Amino acid sequence: MSHTFDPTILREYDIRGIIGETLGADDARAIGRGFATMLREAGGTRVAVGYDGRVSSPMLEHALIEGLTASGCDVVRVGMGPTPMLYYAEASAEDVDGGIQITGSHNPANYNGFKMVSQGRPFFGADILEIGRRAEAGEWADGSGSVESREIMAEYIDRLVAGLEGIGHEALAGLRIGWDAGNGAAGPALEALAARLPGEHHLLFTEVDGNFPNHHPDPTVPENLEDLRRLVSEKNLDFGVAFDGDGDRIGAIDGEGRIIWGDQLLMIYAEDLLRERPGATIIADVKASRALFERVAELGGKPLMWKTGHSLIKSKMKETGAPLAGEMSGHVFFADTYYGYDDALYAGVRLIAASARLGKSVTELRSAMPAMVNTPELRFQVDESRKFAAIEEVKARLSGTGADVDGTDGVRVTTPDGWWLLRASNTQDVLVARAESTDEAGLARLMEQIDAQLEASGLKRGPQAGH
């Protein structure tokens, strides 16, 4: 027996596709068989399985478990919840060797997919391609694993609340915070968490609904934060926190309704953490502001720019021993007193903790940041066969010019005006551009440089591509 996947679903960081078109029960079964075979070869036997609130998730869970058990792995079902709850189940239970969360993350309602972790490490890139190769060849172990259900939510919430340990109640009692779960999988966990936190909490859209009736659950898109902004303004709250569809990415706004982007959140977390861990390495992806890297250095930390992608960042954290990392997309990773995976609910708790320990409101912390003018992430369609080649051409052209180029992930060029970035997406046929300056005129000059490089490679910034 063998199985062939639609080639578009095996991606760099996860497996993701459109239900009924590129992804279905047979794919889930084959993923289970491949993952179980590889885990058993590595010495593991038990897999935790969780799923998000999408309409198709229970069907995929059923088929995935069939595949896992047919290749001899025992399954621990942790039920519906945010992706970080599944990561917690894998990281905290001594008898669990791997984990799979069924989730479409922040994609439209008709998408779904799988995020995987094996023996405490992200399972991505070559691992995912190996699942495809084994399926094609039918190279699967046979066996008959058992299935048990385990209630993990209460223990997970206890662990989140522990993020406030050591902070006096009086520092937290007056807090007033808004939260937006966006009808995603984090809703029930958020309700349980907010009930345990000191202060006053106002919650939006905690009912899990895979059709996302209120707004799309992607907190990096400003219009998706409008409901939260209105709530914070009407109730005069201290700040607001939003989650993506599966609860591993955080979005935030301060008391004045200003968005606090991923790199700005990292500046707050870094200031808090470096007081306890002076000299620590702090990692951010290539899309992050220069202000962040400068701030980390100023606070006595070691800033490290790394490739975009939650699996790549987690791997780099393990390699360097960094206690904190983050991405512009809102993935934030704490490994100081936590497990090193991306958990937006925990990041929300740590924002409360940082504000309390630093003795400043989130609005004050946001106001202290340098004013930068930057573009959002600009994404434009490029033929798959051209996307990496075009980046190499840009690198080659710039190499002889004496430009200040960082080639960690694509091309990041620093000039007196600021910096610009051009990189190929690992998951879609798009190029991603971003630029940042201290003023609009500088930003315009940086964009001209990007356009000139694209033109030299026969490309142009066409219509914006979606996620």
DSSP annotation string for 63-114: HHHHHHHHTT-EEEEEEE--HHHHHHHHHH-TT--EEEEE--TTS-TTEEEE
How many CB atoms lie under 10 A from the CB of residue 173? Answer: 10
**325 vs 305: CA distance, rounded Å:** 10
Measured CA angle at 5 (ends 382, 210), to 5 deg: 80
Angle, helix 187-196 to helix 344-358, in steps of 10 degrees: 30
pLDDT tens sequence across 8-57: 899 888 899 999 999 999 999 999 999 999 999 999 999 999 999 999 99
Strands, E assignment, 170-329: 176-180, 200-204, 239-243, 250-254, 259-260, 281-285, 302-306, 324-326
Task: Choose the catalytic residue: 71, 105, 289, 311.
Answer: 105
Contact assessment for residue 306 and residue 313, using Cβ atoms and an 8 Å cutoff: yes
Contact assessment for residue 289 and residue 263, using Cβ atoms and an 8 Å cutoff: yes
Q: Which residues pair with 16 in a beta bridge?
A: 113
* Residue with the two structure tokens 């993952």: 35
Please provide the DSSP assignment of 413-445 as one string: EEETTEEEEEEE-SSSSEEEEEEEESSHHHHHH
Contact assessment for residue 22 and residue 9, using Cβ atoms and an 8 Å cutoff: yes
pLDDT score of 463: 61
Active site residue 56: no
pLDDT tens sequence across 258-269: 999 999 999 999
Please give the model's pTM, rounded to 2 decimal places: 0.95
Q: Reduced to 3 states, what is the DSSP secondary structure of residue 23? A: strand
Please provide the DSSP assignment of 358-419 as one string: HTS-HHHHHHTS---EE---EEEE--HHHHHHHHHHHHHHHHTTT-EEE-SSSEEEEETTEE
Domains in the chain: ranges and CATH: 15-151 (3.40.120.10), 156-367 (3.40.120.10), 373-456 (3.30.310.50)
**335 vs 348: CA distance, rounded Å:** 15
Strands, E assignment, 226-296: 239-243, 250-254, 259-260, 281-285
Q: What is the DSSP letter of 333?
A: E
Q: Write out residues in the chain with pLDDT < 70, as ranges.
A: 462-467
Residue 38: what are its φ and ψ, rounded to 5°? Answer: -65, -40
Contact assessment for residue 390 and residue 400, using Cβ atoms and an 8 Å cutoff: no
Contact assessment for residue 193 and residue 220, using Cβ atoms and an 8 Å cutoff: no
Contact assessment for residue 210 and residue 197, using Cβ atoms and an 8 Å cutoff: no
Residue 351: what are its φ and ψ, rounded to 5°? Answer: -70, -40
pLDDT score of 464: 61
pLDDT score of 465: 54
pLDDT score of 467: 46
Separation of first and last alpha carbons in the chain: 35
Average pLDDT for the chain: 94
**360 vs 364: CA distance, rounded Å:** 6
Which tokens is 125 given?
Answer: 């890139």
